Amino acid sequence: MEFAKPLPSYLVTRYHGWKATSYKDNQGWYRRLATEGQRPRAMVISCCDSRVHVTSIFGADQGEFFIHRNIANLVPPFAPDGDHHGTSAAVEYAVTALKVSHLIVLGHSQCGGVQGCIDMCKGNAPQLEEKTSFVGRWMEILRPKFDGVAGIEDPEQQARQFERQAVVASLENLMTFPFIESSVKAGQLSLHGLWTDIGEGGLECYDPKTGLFAPV
Amino acid sequence: MEFAKPLPSYLVTRYHGWKATSYKDNQGWYRRLATEGQRPRAMVISCCDSRVHVTSIFGADQGEFFIHRNIANLVPPFAPDGDHHGTSAAVEYAVTALKVSHLIVLGHSQCGGVQGCIDMCKGNAPQLEEKTSFVGRWMEILRPKFDGVAGIEDPEQQARQFERQAVVASLENLMTFPFIESSVKAGQLSLHGLWTDIGEGGLECYDPKTGLFAPV
Amino acid sequence: MEFAKPLPSYLVTRYHGWKATSYKDNQGWYRRLATEGQRPRAMVISCCDSRVHVTSIFGADQGEFFIHRNIANLVPPFAPDGDHHGTSAAVEYAVTALKVSHLIVLGHSQCGGVQGCIDMCKGNAPQLEEKTSFVGRWMEILRPKFDGVAGIEDPEQQARQFERQAVVASLENLMTFPFIESSVKAGQLSLHGLWTDIGEGGLECYDPKTGLFAPV
Amino acid sequence: MEFAKPLPSYLVTRYHGWKATSYKDNQGWYRRLATEGQRPRAMVISCCDSRVHVTSIFGADQGEFFIHRNIANLVPPFAPDGDHHGTSAAVEYAVTALKVSHLIVLGHSQCGGVQGCIDMCKGNAPQLEEKTSFVGRWMEILRPKFDGVAGIEDPEQQARQFERQAVVASLENLMTFPFIESSVKAGQLSLHGLWTDIGEGGLECYDPKTGLFAPV
């Protein structure tokens, strides 16, 4: 594999800085995490977006959050067809092996994946419609929710609402997994839906009573 | 959706702390990221494991890294079959839409997913062999690499080597994506393979000349 | 121009080393920076002093910081008189064209420029008082702050305090630029004042609540 | 000064990393630099551009280079009129107080300041022509050189050539300073003109015999 390159030097420098400070000051905890294994309290499903790091927003330290990040924080419906399902595998591991107590879906504003789905639904993104588009096929998970926001005229408002609906879709799909449904009913697991506004630093939580998101 | 619950109060507290400090002190940057969009330099593919946060190790701040996290930091081979492929979608978006310059695969010690694959390969995990096991099916991606470590007698050493091979498998699979191969050949993208030791805080980089991992 | 000479060979050697390593390993990023342009998060105003490189202290890599360096990290007051104002031009470009989110003034210990200003203020540097002294005229920017440190008897302590006041003077003068004042008020830009101790590697940040510098 | 903010936390983290590694490993040298003062071998005049750090290209360490950075690496002609001249002050300090042996002007590709000057010279930038534009007035230094590149039709080629002429203009203006002319003639100082290509990592040196730039 001649294509593999050495790590860029600026990252080498930062790593050595981390090793000499954060690691060194917490060595006992790191070693315990290594020998005793992880015991995270929550799983977070968030977007790959470089502007939204749940570890920052929640001040997460080593061992607290089991984090799955994919395009648009989507969870596909339960489909045990023998294929590679990365998101379903992550959820299964968190709930059945690690037995997390909270499962948090975190959406965000200005989501490129959600915008791509809007473009697809409006017929403006033929390249995403192609069978070979991984992003397009992935965003199909969200397509059924478009009817609910199709009537919003302002593009900004429509996108912000659709981003929130991506969180709702994931929560609904999570409940189609038998092991999640049973854990929730047994009071061992609770689900939470969040949406954050990148520019203003806002955070909203899905309220099951109203079906709306409200600032926390 | 009665199952959705309010956010745990300890996270509400932490969020408000972040909003009043990190967000407030960097408001201009957050607003700019919101209006101008992200322009990350690198994509990182790492594990969901709660003990390994690339944002800590590399001091990553908002806007720097596009991060995909799944079980065992695996990338499946290129397979444009029209199904939902979360990892492939994330990679496609990073390389073709965001045009990241670096694609880093970060593996780690004590990986539960890799251990599960070893158990499967040794015939000790019938439940993972079942068609309905998402984790089992996901770890199939790594199975072809088991031959290379099957002869290692010490279980600890075998697991550590197999974790490194998970990184190599992902690098090799990445190169099966046409848009990655062409970007690498055009000098627009470079791939990097890393493995970190949780307990000791070590970091090793795959060296293409020797085929081995060496401390950075 | 017969006076221009070839580059000293030790620098030619170092350049070729950089080209074969740092450049080659990051070629994709350099090419992207060239075609897409820079988008730095912060502007830093620091001293020309060879002992203080902000790129070291903050591990700054290509594209992160827009850096202006002059004698004693000074910013003159807003004066749109049609003359060549290098510092004002740099600040204007950073804030209005690049729209940086942070503007950091970094002062330092053992500053030769600040010491020259002390000598001037005490009447011990007639050569700096001459109209033809560029350094003397430049340091006039700082002179109004001398009253605040004139009573400090120990020369070392007086110099260290005056260096910090050079940072404060620059912050105050920055706020006299209309485009800075408006950006700060709009929450798009924040100012930061720092002072570093060369020998001990210390770093202090100006605290607006106390009017003092405190270790970060 | 309520506008001054705490240092962004990602920079605090990086600083502590630097302190625990680079500083700690070189403490003796830092302390010596503090007590004995700087003795740089060369002064470098380069652009503020975030993509061009001479400390990277030349692997510069603490104490080696006295660095002045302004928009487009320009030096105005000698003009001892009693005003604040930041660049002239930096040059005066380097040559007469520090007695550097080399004075290097480093230009670069994709320079925003040089492009602004082209726009001005072609009458396409009325806002830069205004008396209140600091960038416009600063770029006047380069305007006299436009005649030499006005006939180049391809905009890319024209910009690249004008960037090189900015280096030549600075070298010529440097020789109008009496203390530079005399140091050069006495064999105590040599001037060097460089231009670097950001995307390709190239470095060219002005050759006084041909009047052209050639790769080093």
ipTM of this complex prediction, to 2 decimal places: 0.96
Beta strands, E only, chain A = 42-47, 65-70, 102-108, 190-197, 202-207, 212-215
Amino acid type, C205: C
Other C-beta atoms lying within 10 Å of the C-beta of residue A145: 19
Residues A78-94 pLDDT 10s? 999 988 999 999 999 99
Amino acid C209: pLDDT? 86
Instruction: Give yes or no for a contact between A92 and B135, defined as CB atoms under 8 angstroms apart.
Output: yes
Q: How far is CA A35 from CA A32, B51, B109, B159, in A?
A: 5, 12, 10, 14
Q: Which two tokens stand for residue A27?
A: 């060595």
DSSP letter (8 states) at residue C4: B
Domains and CATH numbers, chain D: 1-37 (no CATH), 38-215 (3.40.1050.10)
Interface mutation vs chain A, best among D9, D11, D13, most A CBs within 10 Å: D13
Position A123 confidence tier, pLDDT thresholds 50, 70, 90: very high
Measure CB to CB from residue B32 to each of C25, C27, C101 and give the nearest one. C101
Phi, psi dihedral angles at D89 (to 5 degrees): -65, -40
Cα–Cα distance measured from residue D59 to residue D64, given in angstroms and rounded to the nearest whole number: 10
Position A53 confidence tier, pLDDT thresholds 50, 70, 90: very high
Residue D208, pLDDT > 90, answer: no
Distance between alpha carbon D174 and the CA centroid of its chain, in Å?
12
Amino acid B61: pLDDT? 84
Measure D11 CA to nearest chain B CA, in Å: 9
**Rounded mean pLDDT of C4-11?**
92
Position A209 confidence tier, pLDDT thresholds 50, 70, 90: confident
Amino acid type, B20: A
For chain B, helix (H) and strand (E) counts, in that order, are 10, 6
Instruction: Give yes or no for a contact between A101 and A189, defined as CB atoms under 8 angstroms apart.
Output: yes
Cα–Cα distance measured from residue B200 to residue C195, given in angstroms and rounded to the nearest whole number: 35
Position D168 confidence tier, pLDDT thresholds 50, 70, 90: very high
Position A52 confidence tier, pLDDT thresholds 50, 70, 90: very high
SS3 at position B102: strand
Position D1 confidence tier, pLDDT thresholds 50, 70, 90: low
Residue A1, pLDDT > 60, answer: no
Chain D residues with beta carbon closer than 8 angstroms to that of B61: 8, 10
Chain C residues with beta carbon closer than 8 angstroms to that of A10: 59, 61
Cα–Cα distance measured from residue A182 to residue A87, given in angstroms and rounded to the nearest whole number: 19
DSSP letter (8 states) at residue D138: H
Position D196 confidence tier, pLDDT thresholds 50, 70, 90: very high
Measure C150 CA to nearest chain D CA, in Å: 22
D176 in contact with C, Cβ within 8 Å: no
D68 in contact with C, Cβ within 8 Å: yes
Residues D99-134 pLDDT 10s? 999 999 999 999 999 999 999 999 999 999 999 999
Burial environment of residue A211 by CB neighbours within 10 A (0 to 12, 13 to 18, 19 or more): exposed
Kindly report the three-state secondary structure assignment for every residue of B114-128. HHHHHHHHCCCCHHH
Cα first-last separation, chain D: 49
Task: Provide the percentage of residues in chain A whose pLDDT is more than 90.
Answer: 93
Cα–Cα distance measured from residue B87 to residue B75, given in angstroms and rounded to the nearest whole number: 6
Phi, psi dihedral angles at A49 (to 5 degrees): -45, 130
Tell me if B61 and D5 make a contact (CB, 8 A cut-off). Answer: no
Distance between alpha carbon D146 and the CA centroid of its chain, in Å?
19
Position C71 confidence tier, pLDDT thresholds 50, 70, 90: very high
Report the chain C residue with the minimal C-alpha distance to residue A16.
Answer: C59
Instruction: Give yes or no for a contact between A21 and B203, defined as CB atoms under 8 angstroms apart.
Output: no
Would you tell me the crossing angle of helices A112-121 and A155-174 to the nearest 10 degrees?
A: 100
Cα–Cα distance measured from residue C2 to residue B214, given in angstroms and rounded to the nearest whole number: 50
Residues C14-27 pLDDT 10s? 999 999 999 998 99
Q: Which two tokens stand for residue C24?
A: 């080659």
Cα–Cα distance measured from residue A35 to residue D49, given in angstroms and rounded to the nearest whole number: 47
Residues A8-46 pLDDT 10s? 999 999 999 999 999 999 999 999 999 999 999 999 999
Which residues in chain B (90-149) have CB-CB distances under 8 A to chain C?
99, 101-102
Other C-beta atoms lying within 10 Å of the C-beta of residue C212: 11
Closest by CA to C97, choosing from D158, D136, B99, D167, is D136
Instruction: Give yes or no for a contact between D138 and D74, defined as CB atoms under 8 angstroms apart.
Output: yes
Closest by CA to B216, choosing from D23, C35, C9, A17, is A17
Other C-beta atoms lying within 10 Å of the C-beta of residue C144: 12
Residue environment code for C112-132, b if the CB has 16+ CB neighbours within 10 A, otherwise e: bbbbbbbbbbeeebeebeeee
Phi, psi dihedral angles at C170 (to 5 degrees): -65, -40
Task: Provide the percentage of residues in chain C whose pLDDT is more than 90.
Answer: 94
Range list of H helices, D19-111: 24-25, 27-36, 54-57, 86-92
Residues C126-167 pLDDT 10s? 999 999 999 999 999 999 999 999 999 999 999 999 999 999
Closest by CA to B33, choosing from C35, A11, C65, A201, is A201
Report the chain B residue with the minimal C-alpha distance to residue C63.
Answer: B41
Query: Which residue in the block uniquely carries the two structure tokens 């302190």?
Result: D19
Cα–Cα distance measured from residue C28 to residue B103, given in angstroms and rounded to the nearest whole number: 11
Q: Which two tokens stand for residue B102?
A: 């670096």
Residue A154, pLDDT > 80, answer: yes
C94 has which bridge partners? none
Instruction: Give yes or no for a contact between C206 and C167, defined as CB atoms under 8 angstroms apart.
Output: yes
Other C-beta atoms lying within 10 Å of the C-beta of residue D209: 9
Chain D residues with beta carbon closer than 8 angstroms to that of B59: 10, 13-14, 17
SS3 at position A140: coil
Cα first-last separation, chain B: 49
User: Could you please report the per-residue DSSP string of C84-95?
Assistant: --HHHHHHHIII
Q: Which two tokens stand for residue D64?
A: 């080696």
Average pLDDT, chain D: 95
Position A96 confidence tier, pLDDT thresholds 50, 70, 90: very high
Residue A3, pLDDT > 90, answer: no
Residues D5-55 pLDDT 10s? 999 999 999 999 999 999 999 999 999 999 999 999 999 999 999 999 999
Cα–Cα distance measured from residue B15 to residue D195, given in angstroms and rounded to the nearest whole number: 48
Phi, psi dihedral angles at B186 (to 5 degrees): -85, 0
Measure D105 CA to nearest chain C CA, in Å: 11
Chain C residues with beta carbon closer than 8 angstroms to that of A9: 21-22, 25
Amino acid D61: pLDDT? 83
Kind and range of the H or E run holding D67: strand D65-70
Closest by CA to B213, choosing from B165, B146, B142, B151, is B165
Closest by CA to A11, choosing from B64, B92, C182, is B64
Phi, psi dihedral angles at A5 (to 5 degrees): -115, 160
- Listed in sequence order, the residues at least 6 apart from D145 whose beta carbon sits closer than 8 Å to its beta carbon are D162, D165, D166, D168, D169
Q: Which two tokens stand for residue A159?
A: 């996108």
**Rounded mean pLDDT of A166-179?**
97
Cα–Cα distance measured from residue B66 to residue A188, given in angstroms and rounded to the nearest whole number: 32
Which residues in chain C (17-46) have CB-CB distances under 8 A to chain B?
25-29, 31-32, 36, 39, 41
Query: Which residue in the block uniquely carries the two structure tokens 């509400």?
Result: B12
- Listed in sequence order, the residues at least 6 apart from D17 whose beta carbon sits closer than 8 Å to its beta carbon are A13, A14, A16, A17, A18, A20, A21, B59, C59
Would you tell me the crossing angle of helices B155-174 and B112-121 to the nearest 10 degrees?
A: 100
Instruction: Give yes or no for a contact between D54 and D22, defined as CB atoms under 8 angstroms apart.
Output: no
| D49 known member of a binding site | yes
User: Could you please report the per-residue DSSP string of D151-207?
Assistant: T--SHHHHHHHHHHHHHHHHHHHHTTSHHHHHHHHTTS-EEEEEEEETTTTEEEEEE
Ordered per-residue pLDDT tens for chain B, 216 residues: 567 899 999 999 999 999 999 999 899 999 999 999 999 999 999 999 999 999 999 988 899 999 999 999 999 999 999 889 999 999 999 999 999 999 999 999 999 999 999 999 999 999 999 999 999 999 999 999 999 999 999 999 999 999 999 999 999 999 999 999 999 999 999 999 999 999 999 999 999 889 999 999
Average pLDDT, chain A: 95
